[in-house]
Amino acid sequence: MKRGKSKTDAPKKADTKLSVKKGPERAAKKPRKFKDGKDPNTPKRPQSAFFVFMEEFWKMFKEKNPNNKSVAVVAKAGGDKWKSLTEEKAPYVAKAAKLKAGYTKTMVSYNKSQSGGGGGSCAAATDEAEEEGKAV
């Protein structure tokens, strides 16, 4: 009597799972390097109106709910509140515009210091942005 092939008779496939090295076998992480062309001294970008609002909302929410430890709950509540605001957004938008104007000024001085005071294309572009900021 002829026997059919069983699973044990079939050739074994190579293990397709990736092995995870643990303990001393694990390679040490390399320190992160900055991307080429990115200066760590570059001024930080200004907050948007939403994040200006969230700064204030976070403080109010913490006062009302001191036992809440979840960031997700605060973010969800803040997002819902922001969506419901209409005319009340104006002070946050104004503060964000003020922060952006300050940022453009610092970027102009930063770009001038980087280019050595020469009239490079970056400095010209930021000068135009500064003039637009004053007109607003």
Kindly tell me the burial class for residue 54, based on how many C-beta atoms sit within 10 Å of its own C-beta (0-12, 13-18, 19 or more).
buried
- pLDDT for position 38: 78
Instruction: pLDDT band for 136, please (50, 70, 90 cuts).
Output: very low
- pLDDT for position 1: 57
In the DSSP assignment, the letter for residue 133 is H
In the predicted structure, residue 78 carries a pLDDT above the cut 70: yes
In the predicted structure, residue 123 carries a pLDDT above the cut 60: no
DSSP code per residue over 45-112: PPPPHHHHHHHHHHHHHHHH-TT---HHHHHHHHHHHHHH-SGGGHHHHHHHHHHHHHHHHHHHHHHH
Q: Considering the entire predicted model, what is its pTM?
A: 0.56
pLDDT digits (tens, 9 = 90+) for 14-68: 556 666 666 666 666 767 665 667 788 899 999 999 999 999 999 999 999 999 8
In the predicted structure, residue 133 carries a pLDDT above the cut 80: no
Say if residues 74 and 58 touch (Cβ distance below 8 Å): yes
Instruction: pLDDT band for 135, please (50, 70, 90 cuts).
Output: very low
Instruction: pLDDT band for 98, please (50, 70, 90 cuts).
Output: very high
